């Protein structure tokens, strides 16, 4: 996502991670979210 210059808002990220979490383990999706948050890809827009 970061490489393409596309920064989705937090609602889109939540939807993607929710869908991913249904397919994979929740912990894995949560780890992806936290990693993105640490890199500054996730931010509060509300």
Which parts of the chain are beta strand (E)?
none
Instruction: Enumerate residues 6+ apart whose C-beta is below 8 A from 7.
Output: 1, 41
Judge contact between 7 and 1, C-beta under 8 A: yes
d(CA 1, CA 33): 13
From 5, 3, 9, select the one nearest 43 (Cα to Cα).
9
| pLDDT, one tens digit for every residue, the chain (46 residues) | 444 555 667 777 777 777 766 666 667 767 777 887 777 665 555 4
In angstroms, rounded to a whole number, what is the distance separating the alpha carbons of residues 13 and 8? 6
Q: What is the pLDDT of residue 28?
A: 74
The pLDDT of residue 38: 72
């Amino acid at each position: 996502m970061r490489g393409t210059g596309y920064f989705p808002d937090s609602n889109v990220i939540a939807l993607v991670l929710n869908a991913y979490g249904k397919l994979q383990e929740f912990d894995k999706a949560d780890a992806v979210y936290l990693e993105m948050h640490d890199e500054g890809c996730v931010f509060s827009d509300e």
